[in-house]
Amino acid sequence: MTAEELLTTILNAGGRIIPDPGRPRLGVPTGLKPFVAEHRLALRRLVLARLGQGSESDAQDPAVLSRLLSMPLDEFALGGQLLEVRVPYLTQTLWFVPGEADADRLTLEGISRGRIWTARELADLLSCAGLTPDQVRAVALAKIELGGDVVEIRHQ
């Protein structure tokens, strides 16, 4: 069953899309909950697209992409946008999120905390002058492998 088919099944069985501006979500009938885990991220994208709050095509829109890439991290932290990012050296995607509450929500969806970078963690990493791309890669790989979060960065 595809995510689209599952969403249709959920809605036909009495489930509903909850258009909460702060945390839009899908109310799923109990009997269908076991099927949600396999399609959680795709269902999230479908729900957001139906609510007009984003879609996979946003990442293809040059204006949206340009605005996100040029946004300072402090503005990103206030913006509420969650970004799923693919990097060439990882098989899994990374998530850039405004804050810890967003990271917590993604971990509840089954995404490892090691794949999630908060704006603060990104700012801390970028504050280390002179880091090479290989060093940034090593930090990202360690974070994923250990499933952790960045607690402190000390400058030498």
8-state DSSP, 39: G
Give 32-64 pLDDT, tens digit per residue: 888 888 888 888 888 877 766 554 445 556 666
The residues spanned by each domain of the chain are: 3-56, 71-146
Judge residue 103's burial from the number of C-beta atoms within 10 Å of its C-beta, 0-12 exposed, 13-18 middle, 19 or more buried.
buried
Give 60-117 pLDDT, tens digit per residue: 566 666 666 677 777 777 766 788 888 888 888 899 988 888 898 888 888 899 999 9
User: Cα(63)–Cα(73) distance, rounded to whole angstroms?
Assistant: 18
Any idea which residue has 């946004």 for tokens? 71
